[in-house]
Amino acid sequence: MQILWYPAAGLFRGDWRGLLPGWPEPPNSLALFFQDTGVDLCDFSDAAEQAKDAARERFIAGALGLARTLHRRGYRATVFDPVDGLPVATRESDRPRFWSTANWSDIRAVRTVTGFPIEAAGGCHVVVHPQYGRRVYIGSLVCSALYIELMGMVSA
């Protein structure tokens, strides 16, 4: 799994309050998770669906672990479910998923910060990753830590 960190400036305008109620300010950083599924996600096959389900489970587990680490260090962190764009509870005290009044778009975030090509496939869109092609499954986490603070955590 490849995790790329980006400053979140410019990603969140007025829509962050509905997306992240309870956050006093918009997130400072964005983590994009990229997984090679081994299957072209434009294929509408059982193999592609199974690969997406397995990748989603790996993403949620990995992102929740990272979110908990960030919480322990005093930062806010939210993981978004790639299926519906709703927040996933990262702490037992979090409100249920439907507390958000907006949906996050992994595709919009990837297009905005990476410039990777996006292809329409049926009723959805697929990222074309420079290394993984259309075999990539993406997920997102946002946090209150500054990008420079995250780089310090990674190198420590």
Q: Are 69 and 46 in contact (CB under 8 A)?
A: no
Q: For the residues of 31-73, what is the DSSP string, one character each?
A: EEEEEE-SS-TTS-SHHHHHHHHHHHHHHHHHHHHHHHHHHHT
Pull the structure tokens for residue 33: 């998770």
Q: Which of 53, 36, 40 is nearest to 1 (CA)?
A: 36
| Six-digit token string for 41 | 């996600």
Q: 């400053």: which residue's tokens?
A: 7
* Residue 156 pLDDT: 45
Q: What is the pLDDT of residue 28?
A: 93
d(CA 106, CA 36): 16
66-93 pLDDT, tens per residue?
999 999 999 999 999 999 888 886 655 5
For residue 35, what pLDDT is reported?
97
